[in-house]
Chains A and B, each alone.
Chain A
């Protein structure tokens, strides 16, 4: 076997091995998207009920709460960036980080100092590599977050929000799962809470006049942190679904590229083999000719 042909064969073997890996990752992600979507759907009754309760409270009690009170002279803002732990998901993590950078510069232009809270190893490494200060970070659950994870994050950011010297605003960056094909990084203000989600009246009639046990203020105290937790949980779940979808797409195009590469390498290897055969034949024919002319010349 000629040198050229051997090189082609070796490259084909390596591309085939890579293709097997990317194909497997594509299939794994595809099955996990469905699971992640189901988790988003499963958590929505809780979120809906909670939103309903919070808007009922906001409508019928004019209790002031630190989590809803907007600060007029805000000095500090906290930005929570939800990215992924692992790569191989195309631009998923860097899109979220980029969105975070944009928001940061926007907040800075308003004269605010910005603290960063990071979820996911990719975001953490990005900030570490650039020596940027990190307020807090969480890793290890970006593809399968639990409610406890959301609680942990919410506790930290709410604590900072309630501190006198802490953040006056909390923004969250996550990737919205629009569809299997589209995932959009989104920046949302989380705190102070804007409880009234929409100005249109709720679908199922006006909200009833509630009695509160023990009191409206106590209920609000217990309810608002849960509300923030549930919003963060929802953001984590959507980001997880988006991560899987982004990974599936990236791995699909990697598999397609590998197939393309294998095809063109096969063609070139075939051509090289044919060239070798042709060369051998012409060498044999040439050799036979030379022999024939040598013996005929000798007569």
Chain B
């Protein structure tokens, strides 16, 4: 049994397909969504969303400012910014992290860079 997953960012549809489980972190804690999950609507914290597909392994994405909605075996993950781990340039993300740490004030950019690295490395 699989569920349909749509990962959309404000600018484009990032990923869509079938998955066996979706793992995400809401403001209440980690959430795993499998088939026949009750309709849920959650606010995601900035972090990595893992979509486990049946055949192609895990799809990881860095998500900022996101929501997750589940209904009728359909999961939609909406995010202001969403990037697949495979699309992220680790070196650039690391540079961004170093830059954000230097300019200590920019916590948001630092968190963002850390999320991107986490999504890309795993």
- Residues of A with Cβ closer than 8 Å to B? 39, 42-43, 45-46, 49-50, 52-53, 56-57, 146-147, 150-151, 205, 207-214, 218-219, 222-223, 226, 229-230, 233
Contacts and interface: CB of A to CB of B under 8 A. Distances in A.
B69 A53 contact: yes
B23 to A, nearest CB: 14
Given A45-B13, A46-B10, A226-B65, A209 B80 contact: no
B39 A213 contact: no
Interface string B60-85: 00000101010110001010110000
Contact of A218 (B11, B43, B81): B43
How many B residues are at the interface, by size bracket?
20 to 34
8 contacts: A45-B13, A49-B8, A49-B78, A52-B69, A205-B72, A209-B39, A211-B39, A213-B26
Contacts of A211: 38-41
Closest 8 CB pairs of A and B: A208-B39, A213-B42, A208-B71, A42-B12, A147-B10, A45-B8, A210-B41, A222-B43
B50 interface: no
B80 A49 contact: no
B7 to A, nearest CB: 10
Contacts, number: 86
A264 B121 CA distance: 68
A147 B10 CA distance: 7
Contact of A42 (B11, B26, B72, B81): B11
B63 to A, nearest CB: 13
A211 B70 CA distance: 9
A222 B45 CA distance: 11
A212 B28 CA distance: 10
B27 interface: yes
A186 B74 CA distance: 35
Which of B10, B13, B27, B72 gathers the greatest number of chain A CB atoms within 10 Å? Answer: B10
Given A46-B78, A53-B78, A147-B80, A210 B40 contact: yes
B11 A43 contact: yes
A58 B81 CA distance: 25
Q: By DSSP majority rule, is chain A's interface helix, strand, loop, or mixed?
A: helix
Contacts of B40: 210-213
B115 interface: no
Contacts of B6: 45, 49
Given A49-B76, A226-B65, A218 B27 contact: yes
B9 interface: yes
B69 A49 contact: yes
Contacts of B8: 45-46, 49
A209 B69 CA distance: 11
Contact of B43 (A46, A150, A210, A214): A214
Given A45-B6, A49-B78, A50-B78, A212 B11 contact: no
Interface string B7-48: 011111100000000000011100100000011111100000
B44 to A, nearest CB: 9
Nearest to A223: B67
A55 to B, nearest CB: 12
Contacts of B28: 213-214
Given A46-B78, A146-B11, 13 more contacts: A45-B6, A46-B10, A49-B76, A50-B78, A53-B69, A53-B78, A212-B40, A213-B41, A214-B27, A226-B67, A226-B78, A226-B80, A229-B80
